[in-house]
C-alpha cells in the first residue's frame, strides 16, 4: 500500500534520512522505532508531503506521490497525526473533527451531515461528552483522542500515528492501545506508527522497522527486532522491556 524507495533527506549538513526502503502492507499495523533524532518524524513528514525528500520516492496505492502537497496526499487517503498535537484550539471538539469531514478524502459539502458524522467518530474514540468544549480546554489524553478523531474524519486508508501514546499514564496507554487496535480491525485502516513505548509497539505491530541516525538498521516481526543485535546496540542504555 505504501512503498518507500531509497528515501534520503538532508537538512543543511545533517543527513536525517539515508536510503530508507520500507513497505507497509494493506491491513497491517507497522511500527517505526528509533532513539530521539533517528529521523522517525522526518520520515513521516516526507511521506505526507510536509518535506520533499532530497532523493528517493514515495508510492501510495501504486501512485508516485513524491512532491505532492499535504492536502493532496490527505485527499488520496493518507493522513498523519502530529507528535505535538495540533488541535484548532478555539474551535469546539466537534468542529475540529468536522473540518476533517469537510476537507479530507470525503469532502462533504453538507455541514450538517459533516457534524453528524463527526459526532459518530467522537463516539467511537470516546470523546462525545466533550463535543461542545473548546479544544484548548482538553486534557493531554483527550487531545490525543481528538488528534485521532480528526484524522479518522478524513476517512484515511493509511493512518500515520506519531507517538500517540507518549505522555499518557499507564491506564490511558492501555485504553489508547485498544483504540488503535480497533481502528485497525474494526475500521480496516492500515496503520504505520512511531512509538517509544516498547510494550505498545510489540503488543500492536505486525512488523517493525528500526531507524538509527537516519539509516534503517533492522526490519522484521517484534520478536526478530527485539533479538536483533544492531537494535540492542542502538538502544544500549535503554531498557528493552517486553
Partner 1 sequence: MVSRRGLVTGPFGIALLVLALLPRWTSDYHVSVVLDVLMWVAVTESWIILSGYTGYISLGHSAFFGLGAYIMAMTWPQLPFLLGIVLAGVLSSVFALTIGLVVFRVRGPYFVILTLGLTEFILHVVVNLEIKLGGTVGRILMSAPSLATLYYAMLATAAAAVVTAYVVKNSRFGAGLFSLKEDEKAASALGVNTTLQKWAAYGISAFFPGVVGAIMALRHSYIDPYNAFDPMVSFQVIVMAFLGGMEEVEGAVVGAVLLTLVSEALWASYPYYYMIILGVIMIVTVKFMPLGLVAPFKGRLLARAADGSGAGA
* 95 binds partner 1 per the rule CB under 8 A: yes
Q: Which of 53, 56, 100, 222 binds partner 1 (CB under 8 A)?
A: 100
Q: Which of 41, 48, 173, 184 binds partner 1 (CB under 8 A)?
A: 48
DSSP state of 48: T
> Who contacts 90 (Cβ-Cβ below 8 Å, separation ≥6)?
134, 135, 136
* 116 binds partner 1 per the rule CB under 8 A: no
3-state secondary structure of 164: coil
Nearer to partner 1, 110 or 224 (CB): 110
* 53 binds partner 1 per the rule CB under 8 A: no
Residue recorded with cell 463535543? 131
Ramachandran bin of 158, using left for φ above 0, alpha for ψ from -120 to 50, beta for the remaining angles: beta
Instruction: Compute the least distance from the CB of residue 98 to partner 1, in Å.
Output: 7
Q: Where are the alpha helices (DSSP H) in 14-55?
A: 40-47
Nearer to partner 1, 49 or 222 (CB): 49
Q: Which of 21, 27, 52, 89 binds partner 1 (CB under 8 A)?
A: 89
| C-alpha–C-alpha distance, residues 109 and 31, integer Å | 35
* 25 binds partner 1 per the rule CB under 8 A: no
Instruction: Compute the least distance from the CB of residue 86 to partner 1, in Å.
Output: 4
* 71 binds partner 1 per the rule CB under 8 A: yes
Quick count: other Cβ atoms within 10 Å of Cβ 206?
Answer: 15
Nearer to partner 1, 193 or 217 (CB): 193
* 212 binds partner 1 per the rule CB under 8 A: no
| DSSP notation for 120-153 | HHHHHHT-GGGTTSBGGG--HHHHHHHHHHHHHH
Site residues for partner 1 per CB under 8 A: 48, 50, 69-71, 74-75, 79-80, 82, 86-91, 95, 98-100, 102-105, 107, 109, 111, 150-151, 153-154
Amino acid at each position: 500500500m505504501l512503498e518507500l524507495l531509497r528515501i534520503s533527506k538532508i537538512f543543511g549538513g545533517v543527513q536525517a534520512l539515508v536510503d530508507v526502503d520500507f513497505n507497509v502492507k494493506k491491513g497491517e499495523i507497522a511500527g517505526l522505532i528509533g532513539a530521539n533524532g533517528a529521523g522517525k518524524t522526518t520520515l513521516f513528514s516526507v511521506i505526507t508531503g510536509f518535506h520533499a525528500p532530497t532523493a528517493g520516492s514515495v508510492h501510495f496505492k501504486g501512485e508516485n506521490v513524491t512532491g505532492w502537497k499535504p492536502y493532496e496526499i490527505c485527499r488520496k487517503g493518507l493522513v498523519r497525526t502530529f507528535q505535538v498535537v495540533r488541535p484548532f484550539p478555539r474551535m469546539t471538539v466537534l468542529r475540529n473533527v468536522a473540518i476533517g469531514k469537510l476537507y479530507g478524502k470525503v469532502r462533504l459539502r453538507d455541514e450538517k451531515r459533516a457534524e453528524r458524522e463527526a459526532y459518530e467518530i467522537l463516539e467511537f474514540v470516546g470523546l462525545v461528552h466533550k463535543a461542545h468544549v473548546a479544544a484548548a480546554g482538553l486534557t493531554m489524553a483527550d487531545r490525543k483522542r481528538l488528534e485521532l478523531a480528526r484524522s479518522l474524519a478524513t476517512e484515511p486508508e493509511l493512518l500515520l500515528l506519531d507517538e500517540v501514546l507518549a505522555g499518557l499514564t499507564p491506564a490511558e496507554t492501555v485504553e489508547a492501545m485498544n483504540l488503535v487496535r480497533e481502528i485497525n480491525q474494526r475500521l480496516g485502516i492500515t496503520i504505520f506508527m512511531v512509538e517509544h513505548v516498547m510494550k505498545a509497539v510489540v503488543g500492536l505491530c505486525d512488523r517493525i522497522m528500526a531507524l538509527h541516525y537516519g539509516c534503517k538498521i533492522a526490519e522484521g516481526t517484534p520478536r526478530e527486532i527485539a533479538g536483533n543485535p544492531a537494535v540492542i546496540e542502538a538502544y544500549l542504555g535503554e531498557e528493552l522491556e517486553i
